Amino acid sequence: MGRTMNLRERKKLATWRAIRSAALRLFDEQGYEATTVEQIAAAANVSRATFFNYFASKDAAVLDQDPEERRNWQALIKDRPAGEPLWDSLTAIMTGFCESLRDRIPLQRRLKAQSPAFAQSAQSFGEQFFTDLGHWVASRTTDSDELTPTLQLNLAIVATTTAYQTWPADESFDAFLQRLERCLRQAGPGTPAD
């Protein structure tokens, strides 16, 4: 996790991020449908071929994870104290994961509302995170009790999805985080609804 990148890797990451940044800016300014791969490439000062060396499609420029994102969320998961109650860990992890996407979630939501094509592509967003989280929960599970940790993981995922689905379009990202905390609190074990 703490490996240092060489110069070539740093340049590739800088190019990847420049393309992503250009795509996010253009999607925000023009909308998903009106933005072309050629415009994104030009804005990032790369060729169309270079764009496709980094991203399979224009929606991938928004949805693909930054090469360092997975390391960051794996650290978020790994850094939870061993003796911490699972629900407390899941709450901190889900909140931290969403917070790390502060710059992307609002734009992704607007793009989903504007473009059925983008909404279809975005369905698998977060899949790798949830897979990693599931493996982590399994590693903390004793053979005698698989049901409770699996139930808590699924409740945390559903609480996060519910917060996102019920987040009004005119509310800020901070309001979304408050909604998320409320959903996690209400879904938590033994917690009465507000």
pLDDT tens digits for range 136-191: 998 887 767 788 899 999 999 999 999 999 999 899 999 999 999 999 999 987 65
Mean pLDDT across the stretch 83-91? 94
User: Which positions ≥6 away from 99 have C-beta within 8 Å?
Assistant: 177
**CATH code of the domain made up of 7-63:** 1.10.10.60
pLDDT of residue 2: 52
* Best mean pLDDT range from 21-35, 108-122, 180-194: 21-35
User: Which positions ≥6 away from 66 have C-beta within 8 Å?
Assistant: 16, 17, 20
Taking a C-beta distance cutoff of 8 angstroms, is the pair 102, 173 a contact? Answer: yes
Q: Which amino acid is at 157?
A: I
Residues of the chain above pLDDT 90, percent: 56
Instruction: Note the pLDDT tens digit of each residue in 124-139.
Output: 778 888 889 999 998 8
Average pLDDT, the chain: 89
pLDDT of residue 63: 86
Domain ranges of the chain: 7-63, 69-187
Taking a C-beta distance cutoff of 8 angstroms, is the pair 5, 13 a contact? Answer: yes
Fold of 69-187: Tetracycline Repressor; domain 2 (1.10.357)
pLDDT of residue 193: 47
Instruction: Note the pLDDT tens digit of each residue in 32-80.
Output: 889 999 999 999 999 999 999 999 999 889 888 887 888 888 899 999 9
Task: Give the least confident one: 15-24, 76-85, 117-126.
Answer: 117-126
Mean pLDDT across the stretch 9-38? 93
pLDDT of residue 152: 93
Q: Which residue has the tokens 């710059």?
A: 103
